[in-house]
Amino acid sequence: MAEVEIPDDHPRHDSLVTRHRIEAGVEKGITSQQGLIAQGRGEAFDYLLGERTLPSADAAARAAAAHLLLAERPVISVNGNAAALVPAELVELAGVVGADLEVNLFNRTDERIQAIVDHLRAHGAGEVKGREANARIPNLNHERAKVDADGIADADVVLVPLEDGDRAAALADLGKIELVIDLNPLSRSAQVADVPIVDNILRAVPAITVHARDLADAPRTDLERIVAEFDPETALADAERAIRGGELV
Ligand code: PTJ
């Protein structure tokens, strides 16, 4: 079924849209084949959440927006799944909060980096970082350690959607503020995040943008209060409770 044919009120709407986009991402050389497996895992959690955004996840999206607006050098890290699922939405968010986009891949090849840069540019991005890879995240022995010196290496706040736990922990060790989108509240990346957003990236990225627009003119003290009042442990516990005990809709 083509994406346009999936009715908005279809009970598994988000799941079908996501599958379609991931499949197209693999065909275009943007998403890795492992990305299909990662998506399947995420989908199981989304099913148990009833494919809806919990109030605690929306509060996390608001805290993430506040962090991005407060940041001096915010960067949005983009992998093959994120690029396939929400390219235009990532470009829009980057514009609203003044963040750089940087491609960073677990299964890194020059061809995939270029395909994702081209894909983001086709969706309206200006400069996209990630090709230089002239800096390294210490204590990380795989390809995700390769970052741009003037991008993730220098960032104070990093949004890392669908991250694997190793790099999330290494970035946290560097003292960067980490905003993670991950449907699994038990994943290491969600656990080490300053702000874990336990929601489908399809819903989470537009939600952060809506909050960022809403907060764009807020005084810094308001943004700092939103950040200070957000508790990651409570958000994770709420998501886990919903997944383990929730009623399917
Ligand atoms: O493009 P690359 O080479 O950088 O590879 C990207 C993947 C995602 C394949 C790689 O980072 C990977 O293997 O990740 P993991 O370790 O499988 O972790 C992905 C996490 O994202 C899991 O906890 C999933 O539950 C979660 N996830 C999957 N799909 C979604 C999701 N979270 C939010 N929205 C989704 N659509």
Question: Using CA positions, which residue lies closest to atom 21 of ligand 1?
Answer: 162
Residue 70 three-state SS = helix
Residue 45 near residue 189, CB atoms below 8 Å: no
Range of the domain at 113: 55-245
Instruction: Identify residue 22 by its one-letter amino acid code.
Output: I
Q: Does the C-beta of 183 come closer than 6 Å to ligand 1?
A: yes
Whether the per-residue pLDDT at 51 is higher than 60: the answer is yes
> Residue 95 domain-assigned?
yes
Q: Does the C-beta of 142 come closer than 6 Å to ligand 1?
A: no
Q: Does the C-beta of 109 come closer than 6 Å to ligand 1?
A: no
> Residue 27 domain-assigned?
no
What's the number of domains the chain is made of? 1
Task: Categorize the per-residue pLDDT at 234 as very low, low, confident or very high, splitting at 50, 70 and 90.
Answer: very high
Least confident of 3-12, 14-23, 171-180, 185-194: 3-12
> Residue 10 domain-assigned?
no
What residue has token string 């494919």? 51
Residue 156 near residue 174, CB atoms below 8 Å: no
Residue 249 to residue 243: CA distance in whole angstroms: 12
| pLDDT the model gives residue 94 | 98
Q: Does the C-beta of 45 come closer than 6 Å to ligand 1?
A: yes
Whether the per-residue pLDDT at 40 is higher than 90: the answer is yes
Q: Does the C-beta of 182 come closer than 6 Å to ligand 1?
A: yes
Task: Categorize the per-residue pLDDT at 2 as very low, low, confident or very high, splitting at 50, 70 and 90.
Answer: low
Whether the per-residue pLDDT at 59 is higher than 90: the answer is yes
Q: Which atom of ligand 1 is nearest to the CA of 108?
A: 3
Whether the per-residue pLDDT at 223 is higher than 90: the answer is yes
> Residue 5 domain-assigned?
no
> Residue 136 domain-assigned?
yes
> Residue 183 domain-assigned?
yes
> Residue 31 domain-assigned?
no
Q: Average pLDDT for residues 229-235, to the nearest whole number? A: 98
Among 153, 140, 161, 147, smallest CA distance to 61 is for 161
Phi/psi for 185 (5° steps) reads -70, -15
pLDDT tens-digit map of 78-123: 999 999 999 999 999 999 999 999 999 999 999 999 999 999 999 9
* CATH assignment of the domain containing 82: 3.40.50.12640
- In this structure, what token pair is assigned to residue 59? 């509060």
Q: Does the C-beta of 77 come closer than 6 Å to ligand 1?
A: no
> Residue 236 domain-assigned?
yes
Q: Which atom of ligand 1 is nearest to the CA of 18?
A: 36
Query: How remote is the CA of residue 80 from the centroid of ligand 1, in Å?
Result: 9
Q: Which atom of ligand 1 is nearest to the CA of 164?
A: 16
Query: Which is more confident, 249 or 33?
Result: 33
Query: How remote is the CA of residue 35 from the centroid of ligand 1, in Å?
Result: 6
